[in-house]
Structure 1
């Protein structure tokens, strides 16, 4: 699950890199489509390139093609296995940068990317592959990583692998001739790609962003410049309740002073009456974080609700909520199946967040105990529990590993532990606490099968057997794949 949503040197998703990257190149430019990408193994632009004709012999975990050159294996973005291509290679120190110049022998799996910004943006990595090839790549990735345990089930795919993101974030800037542009950052930079549509975003959310961009000039909403510290509007964040239809708009500004805010709200909601709430978030710090600590509700109640697996969840600007609810229902459904709940079990929901998977499991469990470090998330989980009339779930703020050690020391028991850690997985301290508590079953939900496989090796060494592994495609068009596994104590 993509919490904080494959490969040790590529732990951050490209989406996170472009939104939170440290490189500061703020010369916002109008997008010009590129025939091929220039993403590589290190930032080595400016060095003289060697061009080689090479054949791709496989895939890396992050969706790049692999080639052998002068005794080294290099990654090449946008290259498919079996393809022969001209590749530009530059070297800086011990690192190599590659660029696909021209495909000489294309694969039958190659597709024309439907997004005109694909080679610039970097948020998606697999649009140059057809759907069946994308599915096979992700299946092969999980199969390879899980080879020491058990053969994974066929991957759960998405019927319509577009328009799925329920959380959209756009940034604004000025061109040299003072024209307002808005869109996403080009990969690994702070150069804004001016765009009106991202085809994995919710379409309605992009329409609202386009409307806001058109209103900015008349309401004197100058885009914020991170170099000079001047300007007002930094970002627009939109969250959509896919089931409820409710929409939240968050204006992230550098100052709390928003002249004409009432007229702005009136104009925006007239154009988009489907908007449920509008907030002003204040981020006046020199930071790569999108949201600041202060916020003010301008319209509506400040939150939206959505339904997942039959339960309602309240979503605030800072709430973690799964990006793709349609696939999340499949993922959580399999996780609850693997827990084998009969109505009597005590379940620990570690890294519980706002309580989604724990509350869903509570419908079939005897008792659920959720543990989460983030106190705001715990508050949301308690509120969601009450909203759904759940009486058999309790949520605690703290370290889940320490909590389980205390349970074991007091002689308390748990039948099932469900864990859903960040991308870097669980540490040995947490895993040892699971072993000490001795639950009958462990259900491990992961947004990074590589760290999941590493953690499961520890559990297998300490008395558990892996019985089932289910990959789920939560982020079509990207290299990310999620996996849920069932482990049983011997």
Structure 2
């Protein structure tokens, strides 16, 4: 996903070029294919047998199945295997014979683990994701063909980079390497908005010029922690959030002036204060340095006001396809009472309100509820109400009061729903449940529970919300038996 800053990164709209099938030019034959033992482990030749659910190549070694990043089925490669405690780490060293499904990605560095499958042709990515969903959903029926993206690049509307120092004590920005706090310097990614990438590069250069020292988690010293850029893909509005450990921003006015001079397209700039020692990017306190503090974007014909802390779908192009399919599955006639659980800033509930009788949105986050109410007023929607509450507890109370509900939309986090929520859903007894999931593995677990408690899975629709990554979204319709 990443490209080192010293490699002369240049963004391009062109798709990655296919790599011809055959032997790699830099491959040196290993006589008799004998494993080479060294202090760094064993190096040997392998043929990839398939892919894991995360898109890693599978090889067999001494009766064990090991995963190798950046390897495709049928490819022959030289792999180094190192034992780390009870586990084995397998690393691709050299490709010997390549697959027809391989493309040469513009970013050779896979350290950040973000674009796990950017080395696959997009058609191959779609086949891989379809197979993952098909295998997971076998107990419930056959999934529909995956909904793909016409231009599977530059789609992210939110980018976050972290600041730190390299070994030469120079300021860098990038992403953490997996399972570590080591920052991998980045200039951009094929899935990032290009304007956002350029703004982050400028912020990094200005941080050096203004001597804004990165925050050090070990010492508690320093100022700048992260930069977050949000882009309204339809509106063109751009928000820049500087996340700092302290509100004392020396040279603030000149910094903002310099940033806006290079990027007049920026419509608002905020300073967010995060003095915690955890993995959360944003803190509670924020101050508007320029503009109105929010941006507007359009989704499914509705306008949404987005704040720094608002959850808004990362890929709006595919979100419109996802929501359209979800509402189609809900089969709304204009009379139904609809519950939007985990409603966030109200996106799917407000879109559904145009075809429903009334919508009840439930969200635990107080700020998100405020955003949802503001968005309903902005769009003149009068048949949607939003409540700050635990969705499960709220639905239990609805069931106790014999409230009638026709459809429930649920879009839980990657961990899925807990049994308390699913139990309350079964007690409420809606006619239809439309389950939107960003993790089909936890969705399958929840579908098993609902299947045992009065519901039948009618339709399964995978959607590719995150091209170049191994993540898959799936919408499932359940009807009451």
Query: TM over 0.5: same fold?
Result: yes
Task: Return 5+ residue gaps in structure 2 as ranges.
Answer: 9-23, 27-37
- 3-state DSSP of counterpart to 2:434: strand
Is 1:60 the equivalent of 2:13?
no
Q: Distance in 1 between matches of 2:415 and 2:307?
A: 25
Is 1:471 the equivalent of 2:462?
yes
Q: Distance in 1 between matches of 2:462 and 2:264?
A: 39
1:401-420 maps to which residues of 2 (within 5 A)?
401-420=392-411
Are the counterparts in 2 of residues 359 and 390 from structure 1 also a CA contact under 8 Å? yes
Are the counterparts in 2 of residues 449 and 482 from structure 1 also a CA contact under 8 Å? yes
1:330-409 maps to which residues of 2 (within 5 A)?
330-409=321-400
Could you say if the C-alpha distance between residues 141 and 482 of structure 1 is closer, same or farther in structure 2, counting changes exceeding 3 Å? same
Is 1:246 the equivalent of 2:237?
yes
Higher deviation after alignment, 124-133 or 175-184: 175-184
Aligned mate of 1:280, from 271, 285, 296: 271
Aligned mate of 1:291, from 282, 285, 290: 282
Are the counterparts in 1 of residues 345 and 368 from structure 2 also a CA contact under 8 Å? yes
Aligned mate of 1:115, from 107, 111, 114: 107
What does residue 132 of structure 1 align with? 123
What does residue 21 of structure 1 align with? none
Could you give the per-residue CA deviations for residues 339-381 of structure 1, whole angstroms, max 9, x where no partner exists?
0000000001111111110011000000101111111111111
1:56-455 maps to which residues of 2 (within 5 A)?
56-116=48-108, 118-455=109-446
Could you give the per-residue CA deviations for residues 141-199 of structure 1, whole angstroms, max 9, x where no partner exists?
11111111121111111111111111011122233444322222333332223332222
Could you give the per-residue CA deviations for residues 267-325 of structure 1, whole angstroms, max 9, x where no partner exists?
22222111111001111222222111111110011111111111111111111110100
Are the counterparts in 1 of residues 455 and 478 from structure 2 also a CA contact under 8 Å? yes
Q: Distance in 2 between matches of 1:237 and 1:256?
A: 17
Q: Distance in 1 between matches of 2:355 and 2:64?
A: 53
Are the counterparts in 2 of residues 416 and 439 from structure 1 also a CA contact under 8 Å? yes
- 3-state DSSP of counterpart to 2:43: strand
- 3-state DSSP of counterpart to 1:63: coil
Could you give the per-residue CA deviations for residues 373-426 of structure 1, whole angstroms, max 9, x where no partner exists?
111111111111111111111111111111111111111110001100111111
CA drift of 1:47 comes to: 7.3
Q: Distance in 2 between matches of 1:429 and 1:191?
A: 38
CA drift of 1:32 comes to: 7.2
Are the counterparts in 2 of residues 182 and 213 from structure 1 also a CA contact under 8 Å? yes
Q: Distance in 2 between matches of 1:276 and 1:358?
A: 28
What TM-score does the superposition give when structure 2 sets the normalisation length? 0.90
- 3-state DSSP of counterpart to 1:151: coil
Q: Distance in 2 between matches of 1:174 and 1:66?
A: 36
Are the counterparts in 2 of residues 466 and 485 from structure 1 also a CA contact under 8 Å? yes
CA drift of 1:332 comes to: 0.6
Q: Distance in 1 between matches of 2:342 and 2:381?
A: 19
- 3-state DSSP of counterpart to 1:376: helix
Q: Distance in 2 between matches of 1:481 and 1:145?
A: 12
What TM-score does the superposition give when structure 1 sets the normalisation length? 0.88
* Pairwise CA RMSD: 2.1
Task: Return 5+ residue gaps in structure 1 as ranges.
Answer: 1-14, 19-28, 37-45
Q: Distance in 2 between matches of 1:30 and 1:274?
A: 24
